[in-house]
Structure 1
Amino acid sequence: MKVKITKIDVIAVDVEDNPKGWHPIVCRVYTDESIYGDGESAMAYGIGAKAAHGMLLDVAPLIIGMNPFDTEVIWEKLYKSTFWAQNGGSVIFSAISALDIALWDIKGKALQMPIYALLGGKMRDKLRTYASQLQFGWGERREIAASIADYVKYAKIAVAQGYDAIKIDFFTFDETGRRLTSEDTTRLLAPKYKNMVVNRVAAVRDAIGADVDIIMENHSYIDAQVAVQLGRLVEKYDIFLFEEPCTPTPKTNKFIHDHINIPIAQGERIYSRWGFAPYFENGSIQMIQPDIGNCGGITEAKKICDMAHLYDVGVQAHVCASPLSTAVALQLEAAIPNFTIHEHHVYNLHDYNKRLCIHDYQPEKGMYTVPDLPGIGNEFSEFVFKKGVITTIQ
C-alpha cells in the first residue's frame, strides 16, 4: 500500500494524580490515509522517562514521509543512522520501540487484521497468566508487603481469582516496610536477611500449596554471590523461575546458572538481538523476558523470540506499562511457538493506568484471551490527549 507518515504526536503522560515514578511516554503516528497507530516507550518506571521522551522527539522526524508498511526499512534506518542505536541501550531502543509498535498498529488497521495474523497466525486462543509483583499488594491500590501475613494474604487473593502462578520480589521491603538498599543486599547476606526471604517463601508455598507456581523476582537488587546463596536456600520450595537474580551480564548469569537448580529468567534490561545472543550461546537463560517497548519493538522482539526458539528457550514478554503494552504483548505471545506464560502486573489493576486506553483487558481465572480487533487491539484514550503534554512532529 502507498501510505505516508504525515505527523507524529509524542506525549508525556505525567498528570498530577499518577503515582510518583510512573510517567508513561507514548506516541501516535498519523498517515495520509487517515489511519493512525499508537506506540509506547516502556520506561514509565524508574528514572529515565524524560530521556525516553527526548529521544523519541529526536528520532520521530526521521520517519516522516516514509511508508509505515516498510517496518524493516524503517527499523534499519533508525538503527544505523542514529549512531547511538548500534550497541545501544534502553533510551534509544525505547524510542525505536514506540515508533515500531505504532507502525505495526497501522499495518493491522489498514489490512483489518490483528497483529498476530501479520506475524504468522495465532497458535493459541488463551494465554496462561501469572499475577505479578505481589510485594505491592494485589488489588486496586498499591500496598506494601512487609509481614509474612501480608505475603500470604496477597498470594491467597491471587490464587482465589484463578491464577496458578504468582511472582513476588521477597527482597523489596524489610519487616518494617522499609525499602532495602544495596547496602543490605550485596556481598553475601547477613543471616537476618537470608532468614527473612526464606521464611517468606516458605510461608507462601505452604499457603498456596504445590499446584501453584512461584516466580522469585529480584530486580537485580542482589549480586551473583547472593543470588547463588538465595537460590540454594529456596530450591526446595519448587521455584518456577528465578527472575533477574543479578545485573544481567552473560558471565554472571552463567555463574548463577551453574550453581543453582532453578531456571533463570532475564530480559527487561537486555536490548536487541545482539544483546540477547550471548545468553543463548552460553545457555544461561531458560526464559527470556524482552520488553517489546524497549527492546526494539515488535520487529525486533519477534527476531529475539525466534532466536530463543533455536535454543529451546521460553518467552514471557515483560509488561510493566500501559494497557497498550499489554495488548502488544498478547499479540506477539499468541503468534510464537515458545510462549511460556504472560505477566499481569499489579499496576494493570490500578485506575491511573487502566484509564490510559479505551479497552481494559483483564485475564479470567488466570488466562488471557487474545484481542481479535485490527492492529494492536487497543489504543490510547481521550484522557491521554487531554492530560498529556503533546509535541507534534511534522
Structure 2
Amino acid sequence: MIVSAANIYVVPCGNRRGVILELETDAGVTGIGEAGIAYGAGTMASAEMLREMVQRFVVGRDPGPVELLWHTIYDNGFWTKGGGAICFAALSAIDHALWDIKARALGVPVHSLFGGPFVESLETYANGWWMGCDTPQEYAAAAARTATRGFRGLKLYPLGVADPVMIVKHPVRRSVERAREQLIVERCEAVREAVGPDVEIMLDFGGGLTMDLLVPLIARLEPLGICFIEEPVDPALPDVFSTVAGKTHIPLAAGERFYGRSGFHKAFCAGGLSIAQPDICNTGGFSEGLKIAAAAELHNIRVAPHNYGSPLATAIAAQFAAAIPNFMVLEAFPDFEVEPGYNPVVSAPLERTIREGEMPVPAGPGLGVTLDRDAVAPHRWATVGL
C-alpha cells in the first residue's frame, strides 16, 4: 500500500477552524486527521506546514510503519526538534491519518491497536455552555441547565471577558483589574450554588495571572471544591506550577500548550502538576500521546485530554482516551451545533452520542467517523499527489 495523495481542508467550524488532512492510498483505504490550531493565530501556517510535510515525507510512502514515518518527519523537519505548535500540530494530523489507515485496513478501531478499550464509555465534562454569559446570575442559570442534562463536570473561564472575535479573551499582561476580582469569585460562587456539591467545576485561567494576584484569588476559591485549575500560570513557566501547588489544595492541570513527550517531561519533573491535558491534535498525535500518558503514570498523574477542535478532534480524543489506563475525563462541547457557522466535518459527530455526560467509545473501524464530504468540499485548501 502506498499513500497516493493528500487533501487538506481549512474548515470554518463554529467558533474555531478545523485544519483537516485526508490521506488516500492506492489500495482505496483513506485516513483522516486534524492539526490542532483551531483557535488563536496560526491556522494557515499549520495548513502550509501540513502540506509541506505530506509532500516531502508521506506521499509515495508505505503508510504502515507509522512510528518510522513519525520519526522521519521529526528528524528531518528540523524545527520539529524542540517542539512548537505549528510543527507538532501538522505532525499530529499525519499521525492520526496513518493510524486511521492501518486500523481501517484491519477493520478495527484505532484504540484496539493500542490495547483498548479500557472502558465502554467515556465520562465527559461540558465546555462552551457559558457562551453569552457575563453576570454571575447568567453563569448560574446556564450551569444549572447544563447540569440537568446529566453532565457531572462543567468548565468555565472565570477570568475571561466576552469578545466578539475571540469569544472569550484571556487577561493580558498577566493581570486583571482589581475591580474584576470580585466578579471572578462571584461567578464561581454562583455556579457552585446553582449545580450543588456533586457536580465538578473546572476553571481555566489561561496562564493569565502573576503570583501576587493568583495566590489570593485561589485562596478565595478553595472553599468551592474546585476539581482543577487549568493553566494557572503561563505554560512557558513549568517550574512555577510547583510554587503555586505549594500554596493551594486545588489540583493544577495543564498540557494544551506542552508539545511532545519532552514538553511534558519538563512539566512532570518540575512538579506541581496533578492532571495532564495533552491535546492529541497538537502534541504529536497518538504515537506521542501514548508515551505522554505512560510518563504521566510514572508520576502518578491522571490524563484529562484537552479537546477544542472540530468534531473530528473529538473522535480522535475519544480513541486516545479509550486506550490509556489513567484516563480521567474528556472535554466536550455538547452545544457545538448551535454555534454560528457550525460545520459537522464528519458524518456522525460524537457530541450527538453523549447521554448523561457519557460518550460511548466508538466501535467502528479506524477513528469511527468519516469525513462529511459535502461539508468539507468547499473548504479544500490544497491537494498533493504523486
Q: Cα gap change, 1:385/1:238 in structure 2, threshold over 3 Å: closer, same or farther?
A: closer
Q: Deviation string for 1:244-302 (max 9, x for gaps)? A: 11211211212211211110110111100000002211322111111111100111111
Residues 129 and 335, structure 2, Cα contact 8 Å, conserved in 1: no
Alignment partner, residue 88 of structure 2: 93
CA distance in 2, matches of 1:127, 1:224: 35
Q: Deviation string for 1:217-252 (max 9, x for gaps)? A: 112233344332321110010000001112112112
CA distance in 1, matches of 2:107, 2:256: 31
Q: Deviation string for 1:69-115 (max 9, x for gaps)? A: 21110010110001100002000000000111001110110000001
Alignment partner, residue 224 of structure 2: 237
TM-score, structure 2 as length reference: 0.93
Could you tell me which of 25, 41, 48 is aligned with 2:42? 48
Alignment partner, residue 378 of structure 1: 369
Matched, 1:195 2:189: no
Could you tell me which of 205, 208, 212 is aligned with 1:221? 208
Q: Displaced runs of 4+ in structure 1, greater than 6 A? A: none
Residues 5 and 64, structure 1, Cα contact 8 Å, conserved in 2: yes
CA distance in 2, matches of 1:280, 1:311: 7
Q: Cα gap change, 1:327/1:165 in structure 2, threshold over 3 Å: closer, same or farther?
A: same
1:135 deviates by 2.8
Alignment partner, residue 130 of structure 1: 125
Secondary structure of 2:229's counterpart equals strand
Residues 229 and 252, structure 2, Cα contact 8 Å, conserved in 1: yes
Map 1:184-333; keep pairs closer than 5 Å.
186-187=174-175, 190-248=177-235, 249-333=237-321
1:12 deviates by 1.7
CA distance in 1, matches of 2:259, 2:241: 16
Residues 270 and 290, structure 1, Cα contact 8 Å, conserved in 2: yes
CA distance in 2, matches of 1:255, 1:234: 17
1:323 deviates by 1.2
Map 1:351-390; keep pairs closer than 5 Å.
352-362=341-351, 363-390=354-381
Alignment partner, residue 27 of structure 1: 21
Alignment partner, residue 5 of structure 2: 7
Matched, 1:145 2:133: yes
Opposite residue 379 of structure 1, the aligned amino acid is: T
Q: Which runs of 5+ in 1 are unaligned?
A: 137-143
Residues 114 and 376, structure 1, Cα contact 8 Å, conserved in 2: yes
1:385 deviates by 3.8
Map 1:96-111; keep pairs closer than 5 Å.
96-111=91-106
CA distance in 2, matches of 1:342, 1:306: 17
Alignment partner, residue 67 of structure 2: 72
CA distance in 1, matches of 2:378, 2:258: 32
Opposite residue 229 of structure 2, the aligned amino acid is: F
1:347 deviates by 6.0
Secondary structure of 1:231's counterpart equals helix
Residues 145 and 173, structure 1, Cα contact 8 Å, conserved in 2: no
Counting aligned pairs with the same residue, the percent is 30
Residues 354 and 360, structure 1, Cα contact 8 Å, conserved in 2: no
Alignment partner, residue 158 of structure 1: 146
Residues 38 and 102, structure 1, Cα contact 8 Å, conserved in 2: yes
Q: Deviation string for 1:151-208 (max 9, x for gaps)? A: 0011011101001111011111279xx966645x735x54422211111111111111
CA distance in 1, matches of 2:171, 2:271: 28
CA distance in 1, matches of 2:300, 2:5: 41
Secondary structure of 1:259's counterpart equals coil
Q: Deviation string for 1:32-74 (max 9, x for gaps)? A: 1100001110111111101101111111111122221211100
1:389 deviates by 2.6
CA distance in 2, matches of 1:311, 1:377: 31
1:371 deviates by 0.5
CA distance in 1, matches of 2:202, 2:82: 30
CA distance in 2, matches of 1:336, 1:310: 13
Q: Cα gap change, 1:43/1:246 in structure 2, threshold over 3 Å: closer, same or farther?
A: same
Secondary structure of 2:312's counterpart equals helix
Opposite residue 50 of structure 1, the aligned amino acid is: M
Q: Which moved more, 1:372-381 or 1:216-225?
A: 216-225
CA distance in 2, matches of 1:160, 1:56: 41
Q: Which runs of 5+ in 2 are unaligned?
A: none
Secondary structure of 1:38's counterpart equals strand
Secondary structure of 2:142's counterpart equals helix
TM-score, structure 1 as length reference: 0.91
Residues 159 and 171, structure 2, Cα contact 8 Å, conserved in 1: no
Q: Deviation string for 1:346-373 (max 9, x for gaps)? A: 5634364452110122310011100100
1:4 deviates by 1.2
Residues 288 and 316, structure 1, Cα contact 8 Å, conserved in 2: yes
